[in-house]
Amino acid sequence: MQDLKISKIINTDRGSYVALQNQYEEYKLIFIDSFESTMLTFQITGYGDLAHIRTVYQIFSSFMESAGYIVKEVEIEKYNEGVGNAKVSLLKNKTPIYFNCSISDGMIISHINNVNLRCSDNIWNELEEPDEEVNSEFNQEF
C-alpha cells in the first residue's frame, strides 16, 4: 500500500495534474479537470478555511461529523488512463461505511479531514510518470 501526499498542482494547456508523492519520495501524476483543480487548490492553499461561504466539501465534512461519522481514510481504488475513483472509509459507532467518489473529491475530503490518502501498489504503477513537457513547462524536476 502506498501512503500519498499531494505535492503540487500543475496547470498546463492540456489541463491540470496533481503530483502525488509516496512514502519513498517517488512522484506520479493524476490528471484532473479545471473545476476540480480549482476546488483542490482552494482547499490546499488554505483559502477554504478563510472563505466566508463554505464549500460543499466543508458542508459535507461538517454534516458527517455532526451525524457521528468519522472519516478514516481515502483510497484511490481504480485508475486507468485518467479515469478512476476513490473509496472513502467512514466509521460510525464502530461500523465501517464506504462510498465511492471521484479521485479529486477524495483528495479534497482527505485534505479537509486530515486523513490518509492511499492507493495499492498496482494503482500506483498505473499512475502517470512525470514527463519532460510537464517538467519543462514549470522548470521543476521531480
User: pLDDT tens digits for 81-102?
Assistant: 778 899 999 999 999 999 999 9
pTM for the model stands at 0.86
Check residue 53 and report its DSSP letter: S
Closest CA to 71 of 62, 82, 84: 62
Q: What angle in degrees, to the nearest 10, is found between the helix axes of 103-113 and 34-44? A: 10
CATH number of the domain encompassing residue 32: 3.10.690.10
**CA 11/CA 107 separation, integer angstroms:** 17
Residue range(s) defining the domain that contains residue 93: 2-138
Q: The C-alpha cell of 90 is what?
A: 467512514
Give me the number of domains the chain comprises: 1
pLDDT in tens, 8-41: 888 887 778 899 999 999 999 998 887 888 888 8
Q: The C-alpha cell of 91 is what?
A: 466509521
Give 64's pLDDT tier (boundaries 50, 70, 90). Answer: very high
Using the structure block, give the residue that is written with the C-alpha cell 458542508. 59
